[in-house]
Chain A
Amino acid sequence: MIREGILEALQLLLDLDASVIDAASRSLWISIVAVVTATVVGITIGLLLARKRFPGRSLLVLLFRVGMSVPTVLIGLLCYGLLSRRGTLGELELLYTPTAIILGEFFLALPIVTTLTHGAIARLDPRAFETARTLGAGTLQRALTYLREAKLAILLALLTAFSRCFTELGIAMMVGGNITGRTRTLTTATAMETARGEFASGVAMSLILLSISMLVTLAIALLNRETVEPAS
């Protein structure tokens, strides 16, 4: 059954099946937008947590760490509460739109980007901070210097966040609603097709999901190797 499914799936992919391509491209751009926005916010917070001392900093670091392991269905549930008609942001009528999924995935990616950026900056050689300061760099130049020094680890954080967003199901299902041509993503489509008995379609979607995830994982592995064994 699995073999037949894979063969049919390959056929669907070779035929560039419209529904498969539609779900795949939506999954991609939604995850990219979510990770890019989380990057802007997460890197800023991560930098502040690593370089500034203020009351409650340790608690914030802990909360972001905990945030990394929050189940996607819980994030989906919270976003649903926020976006549903009676929710705080109900008036915006964002529920069951791609924006709702982006919002949920933003909250999924934010703790990952923040925590890993904080860790990467905090682990930098203390001489890097002192050198930037003694050479007279201003706040912005110093921040950019630290990010450049930790760029491999930060890139790793972004890829990890993307991988999580791209493969998540809970948020897309709860606030996206799996609407054809509107909010259907690879994961929701896979779940639906399999539930409907359309095994080949499900496998086709999974294969794309798997290929992109594997590419990201490969990039993470290569980056990791470079981070662990820096060029001499």
Chain B
Amino acid sequence: MTVPVQPTFRSMIDITSLTVTKRGQTVCQVANATVAQHSTVGVTGPNGSGKSTLLRVLAGIETAFVGECVVDASVTDRVLVHQSPYLFRGTVLSNVEYGLKARSTSKSTRHDQATLWLERFGVAHLARRSVESLSGGEKRRTALARACVLEPKLLLFDEPLADLDPRGVECVVQSLNMLDASTILITSPAPLPADLTQATISLKQD
């Protein structure tokens, strides 16, 4: 007789009564939230509701908070992409290869992986271009490719769909859906495309 095994729920993020205060003002408050592993979750709320701060806490950058925030991934396995991404001096390709270099990936693998993700984000033709000559949308896609190429356990995207035209949004949604092994959190002031997220954390402005 075979006993059907009940799939066990494993959480990547467990938040309990999280409060971040800056200069006496509460900038982020989350009562309770749990994010399952390998899921894609939207974080929505109006401007100033603390979406970016929540991602910074989850990335391990913001450490001054009250409450509990447990993440089942080491800090080096969590990658944050800022709302306005920062690209290092150099080419698009060197930026996408940056994190792989940090992980001592061989040069040829680095190149292949970076090119693959640039293709997925539709910016492979810009690989040799200097980042200074990119448009806002191209910079964002480069930054997204730079984060996704690492396929970390936890990916944190702060408003990744801003600056993108409908085709760009579609391209990003398709690319993010390929990341089966990662847990993804995406902030947005507006509702996210239905085919992108499985759940939503709604933040309110205090």
Contact = CB atoms under 8 A, between A and B. Distances in A.
B89 A135 contact: no
A232 interface: yes
B88 interface: yes
Interface stretch (B79-87, B115-123, B189-197): B79-87
Interface string B78-117: 1110101110111000000011011100000000000000
B150 interface: yes
B78 A145 contact: no
B68 interface: no
Nearest to A130: B61
A55 B162 CA distance: 42
Nearest to B101: A141
Given A127-B82, A128-B88, A131-B82, A137 B61 contact: no
B27 to A, nearest CB: 16
Given A125-B86, A149-B89, A135 B79 contact: yes
Nearest to B104: A138
A134 interface: yes
Nearest to B79: A134
A130 B101 contact: no
Contacts of B88: 128, 131-132, 145, 148-149
A138 B103 CA distance: 9
B76 interface: yes
Interface string A37-52: 0000000000000000
A134 B78 contact: yes
Given A130-B80, A232-B132, A136 B86 contact: no
Interface in B40-80: 59, 61, 76, 78-80
A133 interface: yes
A125 B132 CA distance: 15
A18 to B, nearest CB: 45
Contacts of B79: 134-136
B141 interface: no
A1 to B, nearest CB: 52
Contacts of B103: 136
Nearest to B59: A134
A135 B147 CA distance: 7
A128 B86 contact: yes
Contacts of B101: 141
Contact of B89 (A130, A132, A138, A148): A148
B150 A135 contact: yes
B140 interface: no
Contacts of B146: 135
Given A141-B101, A141-B102, A134 B80 contact: yes
A141 B103 CA distance: 11
Interface string A219-232: 00000000000111
A132 B99 CA distance: 8
A135 B80 CA distance: 8
A227 to B, nearest CB: 13
Interface in B141-162: 146-147, 150
Contacts of B78: 134
Interface string A94-135: 000000000000000000000000000000010110111111
7 contacts: A130-B86, A131-B86, A135-B98, A135-B147, A137-B102, A141-B102, A148-B88
Interface of B: 59, 61, 76, 78-80, 82, 84-86, 88-90, 98-99, 101-103, 132, 146-147, 150
Given A125-B86, A136-B79, 16 more contacts: A127-B85, A127-B86, A128-B88, A130-B82, A133-B61, A134-B61, A135-B98, A135-B147, A136-B99, A136-B103, A136-B150, A137-B99, A145-B88, A149-B88, A230-B132, A232-B132
